[in-house]
Amino acid sequence: MRADSSPGLQVTKAVHEKGSFIFLQLWALGRAAETAVLAKENNSPYVSASPIPIPGKTDVPRALTTDEIKEYVATYVAAAKNAIRAGFDGVEIHGANGYLLDQFIQDVSNQRTDEYGGSIENRARFALEVTDAIVEAVGAERTGFRISPWGVFSGTDFIRDIWQGVEGSTFISTNGHTRNSAIETVDNKGGLVGFGRLFMPNPDLPFRLLKNIALERGDQATWYMPGNLTPAGYSDWPFAPENDQQISTL
């Protein structure tokens, strides 16, 4: 969906009418893309930081040229501007989970010998260029960056130590929190806590957290089933009985 399209405006308007905020996540797949899908999308190239395939796969990506990296930076900026035009309150740059920016950051997928490879400063250069360009385009207050140093919850303190309360920014800890761990984290370390997957089986998650109502764990196997357009296991979870909100009012 184009960020500046009518459906995007409808979504952001609906969120704002409920008194909430919404950020759009910006990401590129890199070597995580499916080559068969790329072939259908104008025969888009299969690229990454270096010609290193994903473990267990045979498709080998082509390393992005420095000129192409600059083009990606410009594309990220265009997407960020479109998001703001569509009414989003900001954007989150996806630099985690093995996607394109993370492929440059991680030494297991980046063996470049130019200014985008080698030292951690060089491997982070692409992500930082994207971040700086988006901040210049839409403002620092509208820009977030997602990172997963080890892809597990225990890694967040490592990043928090590096962040060290940079003035004008907020550290958001995510991935695997319970109600108790969220409260403990904020009380002891400050910042914010984010929830994601728990919203799937708990459409009224903020209410449940506020009232300390038991959370549904959901069935992850039903969340992203290719070709299954039914709501089963995806959007058919009910509100908590204690919550008198109705789905029809959303």
In angstroms, rounded to a whole number, what is the distance separating the alpha carbons of residues 48 and 7?
31
**Structure-block tokens of residue 151:** 């892809």
Strand partners, 146: 94
| 99 catalytically annotated | yes
Instruction: List CB contacts of 67: < 8 A, sequence separation 6 or more.
Output: none
91 exposure class (CB count in 10 Å sphere: 0-12, 13-18, 19+): buried
Residue 66 CA, distance from chain mean position: 24
CB–CB of 95/102 below 8 Å?
yes
Choice among 46, 99, 224, 234 that is catalytic: 99
**Structure-block tokens of residue 121:** 């400063």
Question: 3-state DSSP call for residue 8?
Answer: helix
In angstroms, rounded to a whole number, what is the distance separating the alpha carbons of residues 63 and 246?
50
CB–CB of 101/44 below 8 Å?
no
Which residue, 145, 2, 153, 7, is CA-closest to 78?
2
Q: Which residues are catalytic?
A: 99
